[in-house]
Structure 1
Amino acid sequence: MEAMLARCPRYGCIQVADGLNNGEARWARTTVNVQDHMIVPKLDRATDPDKAVEDYVASLSTLPMDCSRPPWEFHFLDFPSSEAASTVAIRVHHAYGDGMSTLALLMMSTRSAAADTKSHPAAPPHRRPTRMGAIYAPQRPPLSMGTLAFVAWVLSYLVLAWNTAADIAYFAATIMFLSDQRTLFKRADDDGFHAKRFVHRSLSLDDVKFLKNSMNCTVNDVLVAVTSAALSRYYFRKSGEPNTTKICVRSLLPVNTRPATSLQTYVNVIESDMRNEVTWGNKLGYIILPFYLATHDDPLAYIRKAKKVLDRKKRSLEVIFTYKIAQIFMKVFGVKVGTSIFRCLFARTTIVFSNMVGPTEQVELCGHPVAFIAPSVYGIPEL
């Protein structure tokens, strides 16, 4: 843990407002007693260990973090559950970083579980990235493809501009007044600070890739489709509404805007002499992604619908503009005003939907094999 703090000094800091930064909070180094951040609760897990884990993790969402010390904690639940010999709940304040930087730090602390090596986990197989930054930029066709291909390329940029303008207008309308209808997924009081249940389920990545290849889509398309199907089944079972009803709820999709989209690349930068150049904090743009609650006789219809929606979102600069707008609001109006504006955005949508690429092989953390990693977030008025 001391080595991690040496490599990532921000995790040895607290936020203070002492007038040295125009009244805004700033990061200041402090003395870290690692034992204060290691918590081993005593729980009654005799009847149902899995429920004991879920209850304890849910209780953490109601407890404030101690701002007098760096806001991160390790909670060790040292008893077996159905999926692991023990569980570690890591609670980290989102001010430290987004999912990319936080997971990169965790991956930097792991080692490969292979018997012949204790190095860092292997990087994913190299392949040409679909996008180099936060957007999907259309490639200019070679001259040999003719005039029609060039015209189509020019038109793709016109479509990009139109979609971006429409998405930004929709984004602004959501901040100001446009809200999702009330469903059983949305609380009536829009209060983000209440107990939340953290439940995880494991899916076979091979099955996901099989569907991806069969439907000529992406892994994200399949995951969005699976989520849409699951929410639809849950909604119609719980609400009792007829299955012919079609409802649209919207999700807020955070997107990493860092140039290095590879998790392994980010880990390598942290460990190298260039770690001072690592951009901690939150570097996120946002997409408002519709989820359609409906029942289909053909389960693959969910994938077709998800692919259509996501393909449309890829032809837009919504991510870049929302990231820049967030930066401008924070700098011009301050953190409190910027935060309140984005709380309106969270409150007027229903779901926060995101995913992260994890290790590609079995890893160990402090000599213990990791069975699963289930990131989540609380403190926002959404599902």
Structure 2
Amino acid sequence: MDAAAPSTLRKRPLSVRTSTSDDNGTDGRTSPDDELGEPVSPSARLVEDFYIIVVIGAATPLNIPALRAGIEAQLARYPHFRSIQVTDKDGNLRWAPTTVNVEDQLICPALAPAAVAADPDKAVEDYVASLSTLPMDWSRPLWEFHLFDFPTSEAVATVAIRVHHSLGDGMSLLTLLMACTRSAADPTRLPAMPPLPTRTGAIYQRPRPSAGALAYLSWLWSFIVLAWHTAVDVVAFFATILCLKDPHTLFKRVNHAESQRKRIVHRSLSLDDVKFVKNAMKCTVNDVLVGVTYAALSRYYFRKSGDTDKEIRVRSILLVNLRPTTSLHACVNMIESGKGSDVKWGNKLGFIILPFFIGKHSDPLDYVRKAKKVVDRKKSSLEVVFTHLAAEVILKIFGLKAAAAIFHRMISHTTISFSNMTGPVEQVEFCGHPVVFIAPSGYGPPEALTVNYQSYVNTIMVNLALDEAQFPDCHELLDDFAESLARIKDAASRLGKQHRKA
């Protein structure tokens, strides 16, 4: 069943202060300069074809008036969420403030009642997949709420939020979304978030003045290692742009059509199980998740391909947030005090080219061991800073078309996009609706497979965005993630018993 075309709660067109120009490549979005705001950042222009979709499950039926009022009071007050992109007289894209009618941003899909009754989960999934082929209305702010006020196997009601990537990267948009929520236990306060991450590594562990010469030499050596690893990664970065391609596997994009319909699916995993493995292996949650991904892709690959026992190395684009770490409460306090402009909601990302290994291991923990080794090596490099600066410089010197071509070439020479984000550690309410799950993903990158992890309370959601034609059995791949975590946890349990006996 293909989802029907969306119908808005209110079909009146939004009034915006723009004037159509001649055919000069500006898409008709021009406006006098005195009406314009800040320029659209280079990073935002680089992701012009990228979109973020966040699927949220609610524990209660949707109260649309309360939802409308809450969005208007919270989300719609942020500058980019009440602006559109227009072109100034010099041909540069800038943000122009506009009047927002929240009703125009709320969409109630006209789904076939028979399809909803037969399989509500599939009805929602099919509709969300259809969004990857439907353009947004650029005469309105580039965000939408698609409302599904019927129960599924996971929630009483579901909301799919579609946001253009230029409004912000995943981390900034998640922070913004959480700033609009409140604790379900106490609606008067913001939700509790995990502790802010701390930087680790030898270069951050400066010896005390009383330390000996050997400690200082070891510390200085860590800078030499950092410089060497960065140089190697920079060479690999340019080689990837020029000629270094991943081998063809089941995960490599096959369909090169401009319009790729993406199937967006998710599966809930136990965060306690992930932390159990983390503690047993003395590593990080991210190490475990990368290891689980290694294992899941390996299970899927060898089952589908029929290949014998061999190891294949592919690469993933791992997005990294480069903002200074700021707590959710600090962000909200700045907004409430009138200093909201100090909060950087936009795109400030670098990326890492992270090796992914597809292979068979008799010990499931070997997937985590290999992941930890790879991630630790990448932590000892400034690759992420270089890639961010390189993207900015290329865009300013060679322009958007050249930068986009280089960016897409690099992505097409790798295999997977990967990210991992942390969410609240307690249940939250959004506009009075208790949230059951949060599942962010997106579409636009030319890869056939995108993997994203999102934690929430005691669960962690694995979210996959897949080329629908290339992965018709996407739910089998989700099963592989669940089974891989179960096997790794079981092996970690045996490891703990062996240590106790010893």
The DSSP-based 3-state class of the residue aligned with 2:207 is coil
Q: Among 40, 45, 67, which residue is 2:116 paired with?
A: 45
- Is the CA contact 1:329–1:338 (under 8 Å) kept in the aligned structure 2? yes
The count of corresponding residues between Structure 1 and Structure 2 is 375
Structure 1 unaligned segments of length 5 or more: list them.
Answer: none
1:229-308 residue pairs with structure 2 within 5 A?
Answer: 229-242=295-308, 244-260=309-325, 262-308=327-373
Cα pair distance change 1:6/1:202, threshold 3 Å: closer
Identity %: 63
Cα distance in 2 for residues equivalent to 1:102 and 1:267:
13
What's the offset of the Cα at 1:27? 1.0
Q: Could you say which structure has the higher strand fraction?
A: 2
- Is the CA contact 1:260–1:266 (under 8 Å) kept in the aligned structure 2? no
Cα distance in 2 for residues equivalent to 1:304 and 1:157:
25
What's the offset of the Cα at 1:130? 2.6
- Is the CA contact 1:249–1:292 (under 8 Å) kept in the aligned structure 2? yes
Please report the TM-score for the alignment, with normalisation by the length of structure 1.
Answer: 0.93
Aligned partner of 2:281 in structure 1 is 215
- Is the CA contact 1:7–1:271 (under 8 Å) kept in the aligned structure 2? no
Cα distance in 2 for residues equivalent to 1:137 and 1:75:
47
The DSSP-based 3-state class of the residue aligned with 1:354 is strand
- Is the CA contact 2:132–2:261 (under 8 Å) kept in the aligned structure 1? yes
Cα distance in 2 for residues equivalent to 1:46 and 1:235:
35
What's the offset of the Cα at 1:24? 2.0
Aligned partner of 1:27 in structure 2 is 95
Deviations 1:308-367 (A, max 9, x none): 000000000001111111111122222232222111111111111001111110001111
What's the offset of the Cα at 1:2? 2.2
1:84 aligns with 2:155: yes
What's the offset of the Cα at 1:271? 4.0
1:185 aligns with 2:251: yes
What's the offset of the Cα at 1:233? 0.3
The DSSP-based 3-state class of the residue aligned with 2:139 is coil
1:329 aligns with 2:394: yes
- Is the CA contact 2:84–2:141 (under 8 Å) kept in the aligned structure 1? yes
Q: Among 62, 74, 98, which residue is 1:4 paired with?
A: 74
Aligned partner of 2:213 in structure 1 is 147
- Is the CA contact 2:190–2:329 (under 8 Å) kept in the aligned structure 1? no
- Is the CA contact 2:150–2:157 (under 8 Å) kept in the aligned structure 1? yes
What's the offset of the Cα at 1:267? 4.4
The DSSP-based 3-state class of the residue aligned with 2:267 is coil
What's the offset of the Cα at 1:42? 2.3
- Is the CA contact 1:255–1:287 (under 8 Å) kept in the aligned structure 2? yes
Aligned partner of 1:59 in structure 2 is 130
Cα distance in 1 for residues equivalent to 2:161 and 2:389:
30
In structure 2, what residue type is equivalent to 1:305? Answer: K
- Is the CA contact 2:320–2:349 (under 8 Å) kept in the aligned structure 1? yes
In structure 1, what residue type is equivalent to 2:351? Answer: Y
Aligned partner of 2:165 in structure 1 is 94
Cα distance in 1 for residues equivalent to 2:235 and 2:169:
26
Which stretches of structure 1, 4 residues or more, deviate above 6 A after TM superposition?
Answer: none
* Cα RMSD, aligned residues only: 1.8
Cα pair distance change 1:221/1:247, threshold 3 Å: same
In structure 2, what residue type is equivalent to 1:188? Answer: V
Deviations 1:270-302 (A, max 9, x none): 444321112232100110001100111111111
Please report the TM-score for the alignment, with normalisation by the length of structure 2.
Answer: 0.72
- Is the CA contact 1:130–1:136 (under 8 Å) kept in the aligned structure 2? no
